Amino acid sequence: MTFTVNTRPRTIAYYIADRIYPRYASFVTPYPDADTPKKRTYNRLQEALRTDVQRLYAVLTGRFNVLLHPARFTTVEKLRQAARAVTILQNIMVKQNRHGNVSVRRVAAGLYADVANEGVDDGAAHMAEAAGEVAAGMHEQDPDPDQEQLVGILVNNPVNAEGILLQSFQARQQALDQYEQELSRDDLAEHIFPNREQLLLPHTG
Amino acid sequence: MSKATISIAVHKLIDFVVEEYAAYYLRAPSDAELRVILDRNKARGMPGCMGSIDCSHWRWRSCPTTLHGQYQNRNGYRSVVLATLRDEDTYVLHVTVGAAGSNNDVNVLKLSPLYHAIVAGIWPP
């Protein structure tokens, strides 16, 4: 998997994390000392995206009262099972009404506007077409659980592709590279700054 | 219904939900799904972003006294930590529950299967 940030090709996809997370290449953290407009813009957008998903805990406790109240389960294993069950129910709900969510409407303003409208308005033919166009995956039409080929990556491949020790060390080094993380963050800041008005628009006001 | 019956029913429901749906609704995203997530995040200004990670505490009322020391967090109540990872629709891609409340986010991360997959080079693809 490759993508381009600031004309530099990169291979490590990352997660957005807040500032206490360690500086690994797989986590993108905000600048601790944002003293230039570029850094501040980057921090603002990063924060916006992070807050957008921090809603989850609010949504979960709103939907499932079991998480709101102190747990009465007696063992950690039961707690774990309960939380997994709640998560699964939440995922089912999200898959059912993905189009109703605020963030989807925000995104739809950009990339998926025409496709989504087409799909909703004009029935199955357009829906299938749009789904084929944009994403065979989860955005337009979720595939049937039975028919989709499940790729249980974390489960089915317990060793990396090469499966030898040297590869493992290299992978570890690559994933935990601090310099890589700073580079990626700088590139992102550069990438965001020219388009800042458009990108920050959904999050302001 | 009596309390005991409800308790049994709740546990059965939980077990059923996890057994029945965990394979499909709580798993690592497939390649096609990952591509959709990346596309959408690219449109929002973060190319290559797979989601966002955070921790939260879940208060544990009936924590055994033996475990109070471990599970007491900095706010003074017993809890377990939920570490989750999700895309922007609050669709949960990964969840780790059960770390003791005294851990901070970094320690919880290091307990989670996700971290081990990352450092082993299995994930991300």
Whether this prediction's pTM lies above 0.80 is answered by no
ipTM score here? Answer: 0.86
Sign of CA dihedral A79, A83, A85, A86: positive
Q: Taking Cα atoms as reference points, which of B34, B57, B59 lies closest to residue A139?
A: B34
Q: Once rounded to an integer, what is the mean pLDDT over residues A62-81?
A: 82
Residue contact A76–B80, C-beta within 8 A: yes
Task: Provide the residue ranges of all domains of chain B, joining segments of one domain with +.
Answer: 27-119
Determine the residue of chain A that is closest to B10 in CA distance: A82
Residues B81-100: pLDDT tens digits? 666 666 667 778 888 887 78
Q: Specify the amino acid at residue A142.
A: D
Q: What is the three-class DSSP state of A198?
A: helix
Which of A129 and A84 is assigned the larger pLDDT?
Answer: A84
Q: B9 at the A interface (CB within 8 A)?
A: no
Q: A137 at the B interface (CB within 8 A)?
A: yes
Residue A132 burial (C-beta neighbours within 10 Å; 0-12, 13-18, 19+): exposed
Residue contact A52–B45, C-beta within 8 A: no
**Which of B15, B27, B105 is facing A21, going by the closest CB pair?**
B105
Q: Taking Cα atoms as reference points, which of A154, A112, A101 lies closest to residue A137?
A: A112
> To 10 degrees, the CA torsion angle through A177, A180, A181, A183?
160
Residues A161-176: pLDDT tens digits? 555 667 677 777 777 7
- For A177, the domain range is 3-203
Residues A115-151: pLDDT tens digits? 444 444 444 444 444 444 444 344 444 544 444 444 4
Domain count, chain A: 1
Q: Specify the amino acid at residue A9.
A: P
Q: Mean pLDDT score of chain A, rounded to an integer?
A: 70
Say how far apart CA A32 and CA A14 lie, in whole Å. Answer: 18
Q: A100 at the B interface (CB within 8 A)?
A: no
Q: Which two tokens stand for residue A63?
A: 């939907």
Sign of CA dihedral A16, A20, A7, A39: positive
